[in-house]
Amino acid sequence: MKPFIIAFCAAGAALLAGCATTSTSSSGPYSVVAYKPKNPDNVRVKVSLSKQNVYVMEGDKVLMAAATCVGQPGHVTPTGNFHINAKIPEKRSGEYGFRVQGGNIVPAEVNKPIPGTYVGYPMAWWCEFSPGYGFHQGFVWPMPRTHGCLRMHKSVAPKFYALVKNGTPVNIAQTQPEDATVNVPRPQDYRDPDPPASFLTSSAVFAKPAGELLVEQP
C-alpha cells in the first residue's frame, strides 16, 4: 500500500456518501462520555473487530467506549499491536475526493483526468496507526464497510483525538475482554445523506466542536 493512499473509501458518488464527516440526523444524537486520563502516558487503545467497538483505556479503567466501522472483506483492518504515529485534525484523502471547477463539483479520484482542482474527501481527526490506516471521522455502519480504516461518529472522533497522542499503543484483535462487560450503543444516522459537496470541499467542514471534550473521572 502506498503511504499516502487512504484506504477507506471507494470512488464514486454513491460510495463517497459512506464516508461523510457530518450529517443532520432524524434518529437522534449519538454521544458517549470520554473521561480525562490521570496520566496520558498510560492511555492505550483496544479495538474489537467482531463487535466493531473501540475502547480507550487507562489501566483497567475504560475512559471511552464507542462504536466503530471496520474493514470489509477483501479490505480488512489489520490486526496486531501498533502505535499512533500521526495526528492530523484537518486531514483530506490523497486518493478520493472531488474536482472543483467554478461552481461545478463532481466526485473524482485524484488521478482521473477530470477538469478542475482536486480537493480530497475530508476525514477529520485523523489518527494514523499504520501507513494508510487510521481512525477518523465518518459514518459508522452496523456492518464492516471501510477499506481498512476505523471510522468513528462525528461526536466521538474529536474525543478520541483528544485522548490519544503520538506513541499511544493500539491493539486490534477479533475480540477484547471488554466485549463481555461494556455495553456500547451504536449510532443510527449512518444512512443520512452527505452534506452538499460545496460544504465538503470547504474549510467549514473542519469546524471545531463546542464545549469540553473530556470530563473529569468520578
Q: Kindly report the CATH number assigned to the domain that includes residue 30.
A: 2.40.440.10
Residue 20 scores a pLDDT above 50: no
Residue 87 scores a pLDDT above 90: yes
Contacts of 174 (CB under 8 A, 6+ apart): 48, 49, 50, 79
Percent of the chain with pLDDT over 90: 82
| Higher local confidence (pLDDT), 18 or 72 | 72
Residue 35's φ and ψ, nearest 5 degrees, are -90, 145
Whole-number Å distance between alpha carbons of 217 and 138: 27
Q: Answer whether residue 158 is part of any domain.
A: yes
Q: CA-based angle 129:130:134, to the nearest 5?
A: 55
Domain count, the chain: 1
Looking at every residue in the chain, the average pLDDT score rounds to 89
| pLDDT tens by residue, 174-206 | 999 999 999 999 999 999 998 999 999 999 999
Residue 24 scores a pLDDT above 50: no
Q: Answer whether residue 203 is part of any domain.
A: no
Residue 12 scores a pLDDT above 90: no
Nearest to 33 by CA among 172, 214, 162, 177: 214
Q: Answer whether residue 169 is part of any domain.
A: yes
Query: Using alpha carbons only, how large is the chain's radius of gyration in Å?
Result: 17
State the pTM of this model. Answer: 0.87
Q: What is the mean pLDDT of residues 36-56?
A: 98
Q: Answer whether residue 119 is part of any domain.
A: yes
Residue 23 scores a pLDDT above 60: no
Residue 197's φ and ψ, nearest 5 degrees, are -60, -30
Q: Answer whether residue 204 is part of any domain.
A: no
Helix (H), strand (E) at residue 171: strand 169-173
Q: Answer whether residue 209 is part of any domain.
A: no
Q: Answer whether residue 218 is part of any domain.
A: no
Q: Answer whether residue 25 is part of any domain.
A: yes
At residue 158, the 3 state secondary structure works out as: helix
Task: Find the range with the poorest average confidence among 7-11, 23-27, 48-52, 213-217.
Answer: 7-11
Find the domain containing 22 and state its range: 13-189
| pLDDT tens by residue, 112-159 | 889 999 999 999 999 999 999 999 999 999 999 999 999 999 999 999
* Model pLDDT, residue 3: 30
Q: What is the mean pLDDT of residues 166-170?
A: 98
